[in-house]
Amino acid sequence: MEWHRRHVLGLSDFHPEEMEFVIDTARSMEEVLTRDIKKVPALRGKTVVNLFFEASTRTRTSFEIAGKRLSADVVNFSSATSSVTKGETLLDTARNIEAMKPNILVVRHSASGAALFLSRHVSCSIINAGDGQNEHPSQGLLDLYTILKVKGKIAGLKIAIVGDILHSRVVRSDLHSLGRMGAKLWLCGPATLVPREMERTGAVVTSDIREAVRGADVVIMLRIQLERQKTAYFPSLREYSRRFGLNRDVFSLAKDDAVIMHPGPINRGVELSDELADCERSLVLLQVESGVAVRMALLYLLAGGSHVAH
């Protein structure tokens, strides 16, 4: 297929064939990452700016490594050390960065719709690296890729997603990536953290983690996003962990070959016990590894590549 997108703002309008195309491209990038010299000249002369208005470890670092593996010039912008602290707006910031002629802006912002907004006001490509509670498309694609690596398929798998559904942009992108590929999705969390609209997504919604995990092929645990919680959604972290945390006892209800995922960062002892976070069936670090290849694929495709780079 041909790649026609100028931006990657979310997965809500991605067709399965497009997601497969990104994954196929990521597989080729993964081969580059096995070489002694993990670098190809595909994006030589292109500039990628990581424009992050929120904290990040995995996404920002892996977009930086992805760009460098493709020989792009990569510039990291952090709002905390920028003129945003003097009151400069998102749009003014982006327009000033645009004046320096980057090819791709990778944007993370606390406001849902920030990436879409910028795509309407700047001429370079935009990749949404997480906008508020809306979407995190590269995470949705890397989760898809990680499950494909381990399970070989998505269709028919029971995938339970447990935790703070309300504030999670990951779940919204995973619903598009995993759901559109035919997974049977279950969403689980306290009733206060599962918005009613989730019942219209085709996923099964429950507040019983045992029901969600029973017979699951994949269990995706979500971080409790205390920084986005303006009110108390549950009595205490201890109570939350007791009812919605994944421990050995609850995980024993899943299939014998079930795997555990988490987008990170993990609140250890809250949504995931130490034992499970680090066990052999945890794919947490494989997700991070997959993220570099998926982000290389996105940068490569947006920069005009249509075949695999060597």
- For ligand CP, how many residues bind (rule: CB under 6 A)? 10
Q: Quick one: 184 or 262, whose CB is closer to ligand CP? A: 262
How many angstroms separate the CA atoms of 103 and 118, rounded? 14
Q: Quick one: 63 or 240, whose CB is closer to ligand CP? A: 63
Of 47, 50, 59, 282, the one binding ligand CP by CB under 6 A? 59
- In this structure, what are the phi and psi dihedrals at residue 108, rounded to the nearest 5 degrees? -120, 135
| Shortest Cβ 249–ligand CP spacing (Å) | 27
- Angle of helix 16-33 relative to helix 137-151, nearest 10 degrees, comes to 70
Report how far apart the first and last C-alpha atoms of the chain are (Å, whole number): 19
**Alpha helical stretches, state H, the chain:** 16-33, 58-69, 90-98, 114-119, 137-151, 169-180, 209-213, 237-244, 248-251, 274-277, 284-302
Q: Quick one: 167 or 184, whose CB is closer to ligand CP? A: 167
| Shortest Cβ 58–ligand CP spacing (Å) | 4
How many angstroms separate the CA atoms of 66 and 73, rounded? 11
| Shortest Cβ 2–ligand CP spacing (Å) | 29
Of 125, 139, 273, 290, the one binding ligand CP by CB under 6 A? 139
Of 28, 33, 58, 305, the one binding ligand CP by CB under 6 A? 58
Q: How many CB atoms lie within 10 A of CB 46?
A: 21
The stretch near ligand CP (CB under 6 A) out of 34-42, 55-63, 179-187, 273-281 is 55-63
Question: By CB under 6 A, is residue 50 in contact with ligand CP?
Answer: no
Of 56, 177, 282, 290, the one binding ligand CP by CB under 6 A? 56
What burial letters (b/e) apply to 119-130, b meaning 16+ CB within 10 Å?
A: beebebbbbbbb
The stretch near ligand CP (CB under 6 A) out of 56-64, 66-74, 181-189, 201-209 is 56-64
Pair 221, 163: CB distance under 8 Å: yes
Pair 7, 126: CB distance under 8 Å: yes
Q: Quick one: 12 or 57, whose CB is closer to ligand CP? A: 57
Of 12, 57, 83, 96, the one binding ligand CP by CB under 6 A? 57
| Shortest Cβ 256–ligand CP spacing (Å) | 28
Q: Quick one: 22 or 309, whose CB is closer to ligand CP? A: 22
| Shortest Cβ 221–ligand CP spacing (Å) | 12
Amino acid present at 217: D
What residues from 243 to 282 belong to the interface with ligand CP (CB under 6 A)? 263-265
Which residues, 6 or more positions from 9, have their beta carbon under 8 angstroms from its beta carbon? 115, 116, 119, 126, 128, 135, 137
Q: Quick one: 30 or 174, whose CB is closer to ligand CP? A: 174
Question: By CB under 6 A, is residue 163 in contact with ligand CP?
Answer: no
User: Interface with ligand CP by CB under 6 A: which residues?
Assistant: 56-59, 130, 136, 139, 263-265
